[in-house]
Amino acid sequence: MTVPVPKAELHLHIEGTLEPEAALACAARNGVELPFASADALRAAYSFTDLASFLDLYYALMAVLRTERDFTELADAYLARAAAQGVRHAEIFFDPQAHLARGVALATVLDGLGAALAAAPARHGITTRLIMCFLRDRPAAEALEVFEAARPWFGTLVTGVGLDSAEVGNPPAPFAEVFGRARDAGLRRVAHAGEEGPPAYVREVLDVLGAERVDHGIRSLEDPELVARLVRERVPLTVCPLSNVRLRCVPDLAAHPLPRMLDAGLLVTVNSDDPSYFGGYIEDNYAALGLDDETSRLLAANSFRAAFLPEDERAAHL
């Protein structure tokens, strides 16, 4: 097997790395009943028609994650797989509201994830950042509450905020206040936009939320003026090809817009999104596109250019 190119992963939901076997083991340990008898039965349910059909299963399966240990093991398992696929730096999303809503405390989630991330450089050769995402289909007031509750971890463990969940019909603007507070607290800012939603949402996350990177952003191509702006301002887009096909944002890999995005001069990166659910980790996403070596190296370099790393660390990767 060829050695995977060293790269950064910038669009990865840690809850989306929950493999069927791990979910069943976790369920048994915590006495959580799941309506799936085996890992194969669970895998068979991983067939989606759109983002909403995926999110239903993604949130339901989180029921098995209850203890600090569960979150540590989840993150450690991801980091081990990521290291094997060439990841040297990972900026990891988590969804605090999805856990708080189930009665799991923020400290359980953060201390659990934090233990795995603290061990990652020595154990897996990976540096990390942790990005707290707000659910755009929940009230903005709830995002403000969780933001304030997470302050003790700002700057040490939590270094950025994001916006995810059901996009269509949930424009970014109501989250302007919480993103403003994040900027004032010195946190980095990213947001999902232009996955299923229109190019107008991509403009909105830039103009209203001050997003520094756009997660997905594939629908930007429908708006040439927006593309010109993204190119001019060097706004990175974290594209997830297998996710786009599995959620039917794109009909198949042959039709994936990534080559057109590169041709347009966009700062594109390739990432895995929710690898357990979408059939592959980051190198599988690179491989699925059938890229030549030069393009793979360009995408890997872009991943470090787009990472929230200090310049000396970035330079060491390039």
Burial of 312 (0-12, 13-18, 19+ CB in 10 A): exposed
In the chain, DSSP finds a helix count (H) and a strand count (E) of: 16, 8
CB of 273 to ligand HPA, least distance (A): 5
What span, in angstroms and rounded, lies between the C-alpha atoms of 144 and 225?
Answer: 33
Helices (H), 150-232: 176-184, 199-207, 224-232
Catalytic residue among 19, 91, 195, 283: 195
Q: Is 15 a catalytic residue?
A: no
Q: Closest residue to ligand HPA, Cβ-based?
A: 164
Nearer to ligand HPA, 58 or 308 (CB): 58
* 211-250 footprint of ligand HPA as x/- string (CB under 6 A): --------------------------------x-------
CB of 94 to Zn ion, least distance (A): 12
CB of 164 to Zn ion, least distance (A): 6
* 189-208 footprint of ligand HPA as x/- string (CB under 6 A): ---x--x-------------
Instruction: Give the DSSP per-residue string, 78-108.
Output: HHHHHHHTTEEEEEEEE-HHHHHTTT--HHH
Q: Which residues are annotated as a binding site for substrate?
A: 274
Burial of 91 (0-12, 13-18, 19+ CB in 10 A): buried
Residue 273 binds Zn ion, judged by CB under 5 A: yes
CB of 303 to Zn ion, least distance (A): 15
Read off the amino acid at residue 1.
M
Residue 91 binds ligand HPA, judged by CB under 6 A: no
Residue 15 binds Zn ion, judged by CB under 5 A: no
Residue 86 binds ligand HPA, judged by CB under 6 A: no
Give me the sign of the Cα torsion angle 22, 72, 105, 140.
negative
Residue 9 binds ligand HPA, judged by CB under 6 A: no
Other CB atoms within 10 Å distance of the CB of residue 207: 12
Q: Which residues are annotated as a binding site for Zn(2+)?
A: 11, 13, 192, 273
**Structural contact between residues 234 and 265, judged by C-beta atoms closer than 8 angstroms:** no
Active site residues: 195
Enumerate binding residues for Zn ion (CB under 5 A).
Answer: 273
